[in-house]
Amino acid sequence: MYKKITLLLVLLLLVLPVPAVRAQEEEDGLELVCSEEYYRALDGQNIAINVYNWGEYISDGSDDMLNVNKAFEQATGIRVYYSTYATNEELYSKLRGGGAQYDVIIPSDYMIGRMISEGMLEPLDFAHIPNYEFIDDNFRYPEYDSENRYSVPYTWGVVGIIYNTDLVYEDEVDSWDILWDERYMGNILMFSNPRDAFAIAQRRLGYSLNTTDPAELQRCLELLQDQKLLVQAYVMDEIFDKMLGGEAALAPYYAGDAFTMIGENPALDFAVPREGTNIFVDAACIPRGSKNRLAAEMYINFLCEPTVSAANGEYIGYALPSQTAVAMLDDEVRESPVAYPPQEVVDNAEYFGALPRDTNLLMDKMWTELLSTDEKYSKLLIPVFLILSITVSVLINVMRGQRKRKQKNYF
Protein backbone atom coordinates (compact mmCIF):
# COMPACT_ATOMS: atom_id res chain seq x y z
CA MET A 1 0.00 0.00 0.00
CA TYR A 2 2.84 2.36 0.91
CA LYS A 3 4.55 1.67 -2.42
CA LYS A 4 1.30 2.41 -4.31
CA ILE A 5 0.90 5.76 -2.52
CA THR A 6 4.54 6.65 -3.22
CA LEU A 7 4.15 5.75 -6.91
CA LEU A 8 0.96 7.83 -7.11
CA LEU A 9 2.75 10.85 -5.61
CA VAL A 10 5.60 10.51 -8.08
CA LEU A 11 3.16 10.37 -11.01
CA LEU A 12 1.33 13.42 -9.70
CA LEU A 13 4.59 15.34 -9.46
CA LEU A 14 5.38 14.45 -13.05
CA VAL A 15 1.96 15.51 -14.34
CA LEU A 16 1.38 18.68 -12.30
CA PRO A 17 3.05 21.93 -13.44
CA VAL A 18 6.42 22.53 -11.84
CA PRO A 19 6.39 25.73 -9.77
CA ALA A 20 8.39 28.60 -11.24
CA VAL A 21 11.85 29.12 -9.87
CA ARG A 22 11.66 32.53 -8.24
CA ALA A 23 14.67 32.66 -5.99
CA GLN A 24 15.81 35.99 -7.42
CA GLU A 25 12.26 37.38 -7.38
CA GLU A 26 11.84 36.47 -3.72
CA GLU A 27 15.23 37.99 -2.94
CA ASP A 28 14.19 41.22 -4.64
CA GLY A 29 10.84 41.21 -2.84
CA LEU A 30 8.99 41.10 -6.15
CA GLU A 31 5.35 40.18 -5.73
CA LEU A 32 3.31 39.48 -8.85
CA VAL A 33 -0.46 39.85 -9.07
CA CYS A 34 -1.01 37.40 -11.91
CA SER A 35 -0.66 33.75 -11.07
CA GLU A 36 2.30 31.53 -11.67
CA GLU A 37 0.10 29.47 -13.98
CA TYR A 38 -0.45 32.55 -16.17
CA TYR A 39 3.25 33.35 -16.44
CA ARG A 40 4.35 29.75 -17.08
CA ALA A 41 1.84 29.14 -19.89
CA LEU A 42 4.55 29.33 -22.59
CA ASP A 43 7.40 27.84 -20.59
CA GLY A 44 9.44 25.16 -22.34
CA GLN A 45 8.41 26.27 -25.86
CA ASN A 46 11.77 27.94 -26.59
CA ILE A 47 10.16 31.32 -27.23
CA ALA A 48 12.10 34.58 -27.43
CA ILE A 49 10.80 38.10 -27.93
CA ASN A 50 12.50 41.19 -29.31
CA VAL A 51 11.81 44.33 -27.28
CA TYR A 52 12.67 47.78 -28.71
CA ASN A 53 12.59 50.65 -26.23
CA TRP A 54 14.06 54.07 -25.55
CA GLY A 55 17.56 54.22 -24.09
CA GLU A 56 17.79 54.49 -20.28
CA TYR A 57 14.10 53.56 -20.05
CA ILE A 58 13.79 50.41 -17.96
CA SER A 59 15.07 49.23 -14.60
CA ASP A 60 18.08 47.13 -15.60
CA GLY A 61 19.44 45.82 -12.32
CA SER A 62 22.01 48.54 -11.71
CA ASP A 63 22.08 50.46 -8.42
CA ASP A 64 20.66 47.35 -6.71
CA MET A 65 17.35 47.85 -8.51
CA LEU A 66 15.16 45.22 -10.15
CA ASN A 67 16.31 43.84 -13.49
CA VAL A 68 12.92 43.82 -15.21
CA ASN A 69 13.89 41.76 -18.24
CA LYS A 70 15.71 39.16 -16.16
CA ALA A 71 12.76 38.94 -13.76
CA PHE A 72 10.42 38.40 -16.71
CA GLU A 73 12.63 35.64 -18.07
CA GLN A 74 12.69 33.92 -14.68
CA ALA A 75 8.94 34.21 -14.26
CA THR A 76 8.02 32.97 -17.75
CA GLY A 77 10.91 31.04 -19.30
CA ILE A 78 10.69 33.43 -22.28
CA ARG A 79 13.96 34.91 -23.50
CA VAL A 80 14.11 38.71 -23.97
CA TYR A 81 16.33 40.31 -26.61
CA TYR A 82 16.40 43.99 -25.75
CA SER A 83 17.62 46.90 -27.88
CA THR A 84 17.17 50.65 -27.78
CA TYR A 85 16.50 53.67 -29.98
CA ALA A 86 16.95 57.40 -29.43
CA THR A 87 13.91 58.94 -31.13
CA ASN A 88 10.41 58.03 -32.28
CA GLU A 89 11.52 58.79 -35.82
CA GLU A 90 14.36 56.27 -35.58
CA LEU A 91 11.89 53.64 -34.39
CA TYR A 92 9.47 54.49 -37.20
CA SER A 93 12.16 54.34 -39.89
CA LYS A 94 13.43 51.00 -38.62
CA LEU A 95 9.97 49.44 -38.70
CA ARG A 96 8.90 51.07 -41.96
CA GLY A 97 12.10 49.92 -43.61
CA GLY A 98 11.43 46.32 -42.60
CA GLY A 99 15.01 45.83 -41.49
CA ALA A 100 14.16 44.17 -38.20
CA GLN A 101 11.39 42.25 -36.47
CA TYR A 102 10.19 43.33 -33.03
CA ASP A 103 7.51 42.02 -30.72
CA VAL A 104 7.16 44.92 -28.26
CA ILE A 105 7.85 48.61 -28.86
CA ILE A 106 7.22 51.66 -26.64
CA PRO A 107 6.66 54.73 -28.83
CA SER A 108 5.20 58.09 -27.81
CA ASP A 109 1.57 59.06 -28.25
CA TYR A 110 1.84 60.93 -31.57
CA MET A 111 3.90 58.17 -33.15
CA ILE A 112 1.38 55.58 -31.98
CA GLY A 113 -1.35 57.55 -33.72
CA ARG A 114 0.71 57.71 -36.89
CA MET A 115 1.49 53.99 -36.82
CA ILE A 116 -2.16 53.11 -36.23
CA SER A 117 -3.20 55.19 -39.25
CA GLU A 118 -0.59 53.44 -41.38
CA GLY A 119 -1.56 49.93 -40.25
CA MET A 120 1.75 49.27 -38.49
CA LEU A 121 0.40 47.94 -35.17
CA GLU A 122 -1.40 44.78 -34.09
CA PRO A 123 -4.62 45.10 -32.06
CA LEU A 124 -4.15 43.82 -28.50
CA ASP A 125 -6.16 41.08 -26.83
CA PHE A 126 -6.76 42.59 -23.39
CA ALA A 127 -7.94 39.22 -22.11
CA HIS A 128 -4.23 38.36 -22.16
CA ILE A 129 -3.32 41.59 -20.33
CA PRO A 130 -5.31 41.34 -17.08
CA ASN A 131 -3.07 43.85 -15.30
CA TYR A 132 -4.50 46.55 -17.54
CA GLU A 133 -6.98 46.99 -14.70
CA PHE A 134 -4.29 48.98 -12.88
CA ILE A 135 -4.11 51.66 -15.58
CA ASP A 136 -5.92 54.80 -14.40
CA ASP A 137 -9.11 55.76 -16.21
CA ASN A 138 -7.71 59.10 -17.43
CA PHE A 139 -5.13 57.21 -19.51
CA ARG A 140 -7.70 55.00 -21.24
CA TYR A 141 -9.20 55.73 -24.66
CA PRO A 142 -6.65 58.46 -25.41
CA GLU A 143 -6.94 60.61 -28.51
CA TYR A 144 -4.01 58.87 -30.20
CA ASP A 145 -5.69 55.45 -29.69
CA SER A 146 -9.34 56.45 -29.48
CA GLU A 147 -10.67 52.88 -29.68
CA ASN A 148 -8.23 51.71 -27.00
CA ARG A 149 -7.09 48.77 -29.11
CA TYR A 150 -3.39 49.17 -29.77
CA SER A 151 -1.53 50.47 -26.73
CA VAL A 152 -1.02 50.19 -22.97
CA PRO A 153 0.44 53.27 -21.20
CA TYR A 154 3.92 52.82 -19.79
CA THR A 155 4.92 56.28 -18.49
CA TRP A 156 4.02 59.94 -18.88
CA GLY A 157 5.63 63.31 -18.28
CA VAL A 158 6.23 66.83 -19.52
CA VAL A 159 9.02 68.64 -21.37
CA GLY A 160 10.94 71.45 -19.70
CA ILE A 161 14.42 72.94 -19.46
CA ILE A 162 17.18 71.29 -17.45
CA TYR A 163 19.91 73.76 -16.54
CA ASN A 164 23.13 74.08 -14.59
CA THR A 165 22.68 76.50 -11.69
CA ASP A 166 26.43 77.23 -11.69
CA LEU A 167 26.09 78.64 -15.21
CA VAL A 168 22.53 80.00 -15.36
CA TYR A 169 20.60 82.25 -12.97
CA GLU A 170 17.49 80.45 -11.74
CA ASP A 171 15.14 83.40 -12.33
CA GLU A 172 16.10 83.47 -16.00
CA VAL A 173 14.74 80.00 -16.76
CA ASP A 174 11.05 80.86 -16.99
CA SER A 175 10.62 81.09 -20.76
CA TRP A 176 11.62 79.22 -23.89
CA ASP A 177 13.29 82.50 -24.92
CA ILE A 178 16.41 81.54 -22.99
CA LEU A 179 17.22 78.90 -25.61
CA TRP A 180 17.73 81.81 -28.02
CA ASP A 181 19.82 83.90 -25.60
CA GLU A 182 23.15 84.77 -27.24
CA ARG A 183 24.89 84.89 -23.84
CA TYR A 184 24.71 81.08 -23.85
CA MET A 185 26.10 80.55 -27.34
CA GLY A 186 27.77 77.15 -27.49
CA ASN A 187 26.27 76.17 -24.15
CA ILE A 188 22.80 75.20 -25.39
CA LEU A 189 21.73 71.66 -26.28
CA MET A 190 18.67 70.96 -28.42
CA PHE A 191 16.44 67.99 -29.22
CA SER A 192 17.62 65.96 -32.20
CA ASN A 193 14.11 65.03 -33.35
CA PRO A 194 11.71 67.24 -35.30
CA ARG A 195 8.50 66.92 -33.30
CA ASP A 196 10.04 67.98 -29.98
CA ALA A 197 12.20 70.70 -31.53
CA PHE A 198 9.34 72.21 -33.54
CA ALA A 199 7.13 72.05 -30.43
CA ILE A 200 9.44 74.45 -28.59
CA ALA A 201 9.31 76.91 -31.47
CA GLN A 202 5.53 76.48 -31.65
CA ARG A 203 5.09 77.27 -27.97
CA ARG A 204 7.40 80.28 -28.23
CA LEU A 205 5.35 81.63 -31.12
CA GLY A 206 2.01 80.82 -29.49
CA TYR A 207 1.03 78.13 -32.01
CA SER A 208 -0.67 74.81 -31.31
CA LEU A 209 1.67 71.83 -31.03
CA ASN A 210 -0.56 70.17 -33.60
CA THR A 211 -0.66 72.93 -36.18
CA THR A 212 -0.93 71.85 -39.80
CA ASP A 213 -0.52 75.36 -41.22
CA PRO A 214 2.52 75.38 -43.57
CA ALA A 215 3.06 79.08 -42.92
CA GLU A 216 3.27 78.51 -39.15
CA LEU A 217 5.63 75.59 -39.64
CA GLN A 218 7.80 77.73 -41.89
CA ARG A 219 8.00 80.41 -39.20
CA CYS A 220 9.01 77.70 -36.70
CA LEU A 221 11.74 76.54 -39.08
CA GLU A 222 13.07 80.08 -39.38
CA LEU A 223 13.12 80.41 -35.59
CA LEU A 224 15.06 77.14 -35.26
CA GLN A 225 17.46 78.30 -37.97
CA ASP A 226 18.04 81.53 -36.00
CA GLN A 227 18.86 79.42 -32.97
CA LYS A 228 21.25 77.07 -34.71
CA LEU A 229 24.38 79.20 -34.32
CA LEU A 230 23.84 79.11 -30.55
CA VAL A 231 23.43 75.32 -30.32
CA GLN A 232 26.36 73.24 -29.17
CA ALA A 233 24.79 69.95 -30.27
CA TYR A 234 21.49 68.27 -31.13
CA VAL A 235 21.15 65.37 -28.68
CA MET A 236 18.98 62.69 -27.18
CA ASP A 237 20.61 60.17 -24.82
CA GLU A 238 23.90 62.08 -25.15
CA ILE A 239 22.37 64.72 -22.89
CA PHE A 240 23.23 62.62 -19.81
CA ASP A 241 26.99 62.83 -20.28
CA LYS A 242 26.93 66.46 -21.34
CA MET A 243 24.72 67.84 -18.58
CA LEU A 244 26.14 65.63 -15.84
CA GLY A 245 29.66 66.57 -16.91
CA GLY A 246 28.96 70.31 -16.97
CA GLU A 247 29.58 70.51 -20.72
CA ALA A 248 26.45 72.61 -21.35
CA ALA A 249 24.33 75.13 -19.48
CA LEU A 250 20.84 74.53 -20.86
CA ALA A 251 18.84 71.82 -22.60
CA PRO A 252 15.17 71.08 -23.22
CA TYR A 253 14.35 67.52 -22.17
CA TYR A 254 11.89 65.15 -20.56
CA ALA A 255 11.07 65.56 -16.87
CA GLY A 256 11.77 61.93 -15.98
CA ASP A 257 15.34 62.07 -17.27
CA ALA A 258 15.78 65.49 -15.67
CA PHE A 259 14.77 63.97 -12.32
CA THR A 260 17.43 61.26 -12.75
CA MET A 261 20.15 63.75 -13.73
CA ILE A 262 19.36 66.09 -10.84
CA GLY A 263 19.77 63.13 -8.48
CA GLU A 264 23.29 62.57 -9.83
CA ASN A 265 24.36 66.21 -10.09
CA PRO A 266 22.92 68.63 -7.48
CA ALA A 267 24.03 71.61 -9.59
CA LEU A 268 21.25 70.78 -12.06
CA ASP A 269 17.66 71.96 -11.85
CA PHE A 270 14.51 71.85 -13.99
CA ALA A 271 11.86 74.38 -14.98
CA VAL A 272 8.77 74.38 -17.19
CA PRO A 273 8.48 77.64 -19.17
CA ARG A 274 5.48 79.89 -18.63
CA GLU A 275 4.39 79.58 -22.29
CA GLY A 276 3.44 75.96 -21.60
CA THR A 277 4.80 72.70 -22.88
CA ASN A 278 4.14 69.24 -24.25
CA ILE A 279 2.65 66.54 -22.03
CA PHE A 280 3.30 63.05 -23.37
CA VAL A 281 2.49 59.38 -22.87
CA ASP A 282 4.73 56.51 -23.94
CA ALA A 283 2.90 53.22 -24.37
CA ALA A 284 3.65 49.57 -25.12
CA CYS A 285 2.50 48.26 -28.50
CA ILE A 286 2.95 45.21 -30.72
CA PRO A 287 4.16 45.90 -34.27
CA ARG A 288 2.32 44.39 -37.20
CA GLY A 289 3.73 40.99 -38.10
CA SER A 290 4.94 39.95 -34.65
CA LYS A 291 5.28 36.17 -34.53
CA ASN A 292 5.04 36.01 -30.74
CA ARG A 293 1.93 38.01 -29.91
CA LEU A 294 0.92 35.98 -26.86
CA ALA A 295 4.40 36.27 -25.37
CA ALA A 296 4.45 39.98 -26.24
CA GLU A 297 1.12 40.52 -24.46
CA MET A 298 2.52 38.65 -21.46
CA TYR A 299 5.50 41.01 -21.42
CA ILE A 300 3.21 44.05 -21.59
CA ASN A 301 1.16 42.58 -18.75
CA PHE A 302 4.37 42.10 -16.73
CA LEU A 303 5.21 45.80 -17.18
CA CYS A 304 1.79 46.59 -15.68
CA GLU A 305 2.48 44.56 -12.54
CA PRO A 306 2.36 47.22 -9.79
CA THR A 307 5.70 46.11 -8.28
CA VAL A 308 7.37 46.07 -11.71
CA SER A 309 5.88 49.42 -12.71
CA ALA A 310 6.99 50.93 -9.40
CA ALA A 311 10.52 49.57 -9.88
CA ASN A 312 10.63 51.22 -13.30
CA GLY A 313 9.32 54.46 -11.83
CA GLU A 314 11.95 54.46 -9.10
CA TYR A 315 14.74 53.79 -11.57
CA ILE A 316 13.91 55.98 -14.57
CA GLY A 317 12.10 58.81 -12.76
CA TYR A 318 9.15 59.06 -15.15
CA ALA A 319 5.58 59.39 -13.93
CA LEU A 320 3.45 56.25 -13.89
CA PRO A 321 -0.11 55.84 -15.23
CA SER A 322 -1.11 53.63 -12.29
CA GLN A 323 -1.93 55.07 -8.87
CA THR A 324 -1.48 51.58 -7.42
CA ALA A 325 2.15 51.65 -8.57
CA VAL A 326 2.65 55.30 -7.61
CA ALA A 327 1.63 54.49 -4.03
CA MET A 328 4.60 52.09 -3.83
CA LEU A 329 7.19 54.74 -4.75
CA ASP A 330 9.56 56.39 -2.31
CA ASP A 331 8.38 59.77 -1.06
CA GLU A 332 11.27 61.47 -2.87
CA VAL A 333 9.93 60.29 -6.23
CA ARG A 334 6.22 60.48 -5.55
CA GLU A 335 6.38 64.02 -4.15
CA SER A 336 8.82 65.43 -6.70
CA PRO A 337 7.36 68.34 -8.77
CA VAL A 338 9.76 67.32 -11.53
CA ALA A 339 8.63 63.70 -11.85
CA TYR A 340 5.00 64.53 -10.98
CA PRO A 341 4.40 68.13 -12.10
CA PRO A 342 1.76 70.24 -10.33
CA GLN A 343 -1.70 70.51 -11.83
CA GLU A 344 -1.15 74.04 -13.14
CA VAL A 345 1.71 72.75 -15.30
CA VAL A 346 -0.43 69.89 -16.62
CA ASP A 347 -3.32 72.28 -17.34
CA ASN A 348 -1.00 74.52 -19.38
CA ALA A 349 0.37 71.61 -21.43
CA GLU A 350 -0.77 70.11 -24.71
CA TYR A 351 -0.63 66.55 -26.02
CA PHE A 352 0.83 65.78 -29.42
CA GLY A 353 -1.81 64.51 -31.84
CA ALA A 354 -1.29 62.35 -34.91
CA LEU A 355 -0.56 64.77 -37.77
CA PRO A 356 -1.78 64.26 -41.35
CA ARG A 357 0.67 62.53 -43.64
CA ASP A 358 1.35 65.72 -45.63
CA THR A 359 2.22 67.62 -42.45
CA ASN A 360 4.56 64.84 -41.29
CA LEU A 361 6.34 64.87 -44.63
CA LEU A 362 6.63 68.66 -44.58
CA MET A 363 8.04 68.69 -41.06
CA ASP A 364 10.52 65.93 -41.94
CA LYS A 365 11.62 67.92 -44.99
CA MET A 366 12.04 71.08 -42.92
CA TRP A 367 14.02 69.19 -40.28
CA THR A 368 16.38 67.86 -42.94
CA GLU A 369 16.75 71.41 -44.24
CA LEU A 370 17.59 72.66 -40.75
CA LEU A 371 20.25 70.03 -40.16
CA SER A 372 21.76 70.53 -43.62
CA THR A 373 22.38 74.25 -43.10
CA ASP A 374 25.78 73.60 -41.52
CA GLU A 375 27.50 74.30 -44.80
CA LYS A 376 25.56 77.53 -45.32
CA TYR A 377 26.40 78.81 -41.86
CA SER A 378 30.03 77.74 -42.26
CA LYS A 379 30.30 79.82 -45.45
CA LEU A 380 28.83 82.79 -43.60
CA LEU A 381 31.26 82.38 -40.72
CA ILE A 382 34.38 82.13 -42.89
CA PRO A 383 34.53 85.86 -43.76
CA VAL A 384 33.74 86.74 -40.13
CA PHE A 385 36.66 84.67 -38.85
CA LEU A 386 38.85 86.07 -41.65
CA ILE A 387 38.08 89.63 -40.59
CA LEU A 388 38.72 88.76 -36.95
CA SER A 389 42.01 87.10 -37.85
CA ILE A 390 43.14 90.14 -39.86
CA THR A 391 42.12 92.45 -37.02
CA VAL A 392 44.03 90.40 -34.46
CA SER A 393 47.06 90.28 -36.75
CA VAL A 394 47.00 94.06 -37.22
CA LEU A 395 46.69 94.61 -33.46
CA ILE A 396 49.62 92.30 -32.78
CA ASN A 397 51.79 94.11 -35.36
CA VAL A 398 50.81 97.49 -33.90
CA MET A 399 51.72 96.33 -30.40
CA ARG A 400 55.06 94.96 -31.65
CA GLY A 401 55.77 98.25 -33.38
CA GLN A 402 55.00 100.19 -30.22
CA ARG A 403 57.24 97.90 -28.20
CA LYS A 404 60.14 98.37 -30.64
CA ARG A 405 59.74 102.14 -30.55
CA LYS A 406 59.79 102.11 -26.75
CA GLN A 407 62.94 99.96 -26.77
CA LYS A 408 64.61 102.30 -29.31
CA ASN A 409 63.77 105.37 -27.25
CA TYR A 410 65.07 103.61 -24.13
CA PHE A 411 68.48 103.06 -25.65
Among the ranges given (97-101, 180-184, 325-329), the one the predictor scored with the smallest mean pLDDT = 97-101
Evaluate if residue 402 carries a pLDDT over 70.
no
Assess whether pLDDT exceeds 90 at residue 388: no
Region 367-387: what's the mean pLDDT? Answer: 62
pTM listed for this prediction: 0.82
CA distances from 64 to 61, 80, 118, 310 (A): 6, 20, 41, 14
* Of 78-82, 234-238, 287-291, 391-395, the least confident: 391-395
Q: What is the tens place of the pLDDT at every residue in 271-319?
A: 999 999 999 999 999 999 999 999 999 999 999 999 999 999 999 999 9
Q: What is the pLDDT of residues 184-194, one digit of tens each?
A: 999 999 999 99
Q: Which of 199-208, 292-301, 380-389 shows the lowest per-residue confidence on average (mean pLDDT)?
A: 380-389
Does 103 score more than 50 pLDDT? yes
pLDDT attached to residue 21? 31
End-to-end CA gap in the chain: 126
How far, in Å, are 191, 287, 335 from residue 257 at the CA level?
13, 26, 16
Within 180-326, residue ranges assigned H as helices are 194-205, 214-228, 239-244, 255-264, 293-303, 306-316, 323-326
Domain architecture of the chain: domains with CATH: 22-155+280-340 (3.40.190.10), 157-279+358-374 (3.40.190.10)
Q: How high is the pLDDT of residue 311?
A: 96
For 216-223, what is the mean pLDDT? 98
Q: Give the 3-state secondary structure of residue 285.
A: strand
The whole-number pLDDT of residue 376 equals 45
Of 27-31, 52-56, 263-267, 329-333, the one with minimum mean pLDDT is: 27-31
**pLDDT tens, 155-169?**
999 999 999 999 998
The mean per-residue pLDDT over the stretch 327-333 comes to 94
